[in-house]
With several copies, the nearest count.
Chain A
């Protein structure tokens, strides 16, 4: 993709998430993006940035958060990247750096609100989440990737088990 890229590079801190979201609004403004698509993009990008802030780096260690936004004829693509610990296999439902009560809805929301998404990276490699938001949608992505389940007793979201027969 050789579309010109808007890149943000900022500290992976809570106050940075709003900076990215505001910049996204500015990019969308130049594209005359539809209201629902913009609002879905704001939410999905917020969740991806929040994950970099919350999960990627050791508490107290300031890592960077890098975000690329580029527009082609059909979609706005946003890539959120960190150089942190990478997605770890979960052990007994506990997260290395999770604060009190990470709800567990971030990736499900990203799946439900983007028209296409990809998560790259493994332990030690950092994490890169790429999300595309089509200007014209054939269907509501939230209907295609619905969020199932509900709040569990632990405070974390409990997704419904996929039906092995379906």
Chain B
């Protein structure tokens, strides 16, 4: 199995990235929730969930991401999911068949993610 990591990347000024690599499911969902909570607690302008290096995500992870999105909207933080330019097929598929691509919203590159995390008005 690919290394399962969840890390905070704070090198982008007022935008925080939570970088999710490898396979994630109910076992690591609590860690992801904690990491997303911590990032939101820092009141960034924007929060990016970076899935570009993730190889498997289940509905526990979608639940954690949706909860972070809800909290971000409430507190006026821009929230965006970066799927990367070459996403793992299964990760892309779960986002597509659940119709969540426009909901999160999902973008396809780090640049685009930073841009919309900085610029987008946090609409509800």
Contacts and interface: CB of A to CB of B under 8 A. Distances in A.
Chain A interface main SS type = helix
Interface of B: 1, 4, 23, 25-27, 56, 58-60, 62-64, 66-67, 70, 89-90, 93-94, 97-100, 103
A50 B57 CA distance: 12
A47 B58 contact: yes
Contacts of B25: 14, 17-18, 21, 46, 50
A103 B59 contact: yes
Contact residue range for chain A? 35 or more
Contacts, number: 83
A39 B56 CA distance: 9
Interface stretch (A3-11, A62-70, A104-112, A118-126): A104-112
A95 B111 CA distance: 41
A85 interface: no
A165 interface: no
A123 to B, nearest CB: 24
Contacts of A18: 1, 23, 25, 27
Most buried by A among B64, B98, B99: B98
Interface string A63-85: 00000000000000000000000
